[in-house]
């Protein structure tokens, strides 16, 4: 089971240099085995709306979220511990949030963000799980 970091979705949505790798990941792995945090989902919505890419947001929801990728969040008790994770691994808020979700649910973190390489759980790029 996998937690896809926000940058995985951005890479595909914005057709960046590793978009093909991201598309292969989503085609190869059963979507029911992939999760996104509520923070990532909301961040994607905020940016796409700011860019007035409303249709892209709906396509994203329909293709990946509806009947597919699960959405996970932290409880208020979990949020109170977020600062400890951030300080321990030198992560910013969103990375600490992703890390705590992966830890809480025992998920492999899929990310291009090397900040996770210094954590106990680490991270894998999409190509590392599909090859």
Radius of gyration of the chain (CA): 14
| pTM, entire model | 0.92
All domains of the chain in start order, with CATH: 2-130 (3.40.50.1010)
Tell me the DSSP string of 60-91. Answer: HIIIIITTTSEEE---HHHHTTHHHHHHHHT-
For 86-125, how does the pLDDT look when each residue is reduced to its tens digit (9 = 90+)?
999 999 999 999 999 999 999 999 999 999 999 999 999 9
């Amino acid at each position: 089971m996998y937690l896809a970091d926000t940058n995985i979705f951005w890479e595909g949505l914005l057709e960046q240099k590793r978009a093909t790798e991201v598309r292969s990941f989503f085609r190869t792995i059963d979507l029911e085995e992939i999760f996104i945090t509520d923070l990532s989902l909301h961040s994607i919505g905020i940016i796409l709306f700011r860019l007035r890419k409303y249709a892209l947001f709906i396509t994203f929801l329909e293709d990946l979220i509806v009947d597919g990728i699960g959405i996970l969040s932290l409880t208020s008790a979990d949020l109170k511990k977020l600062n400890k994770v951030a300080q321990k691994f030198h992560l910013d808020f969103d990375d600490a949030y992703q890390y705590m979700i992966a830890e809480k649910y025992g998920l492999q973190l899929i990310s291009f963000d090397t900040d996770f390489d210094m954590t106990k759980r680490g991270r894998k790029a999409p190509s590392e799980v599909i090859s």
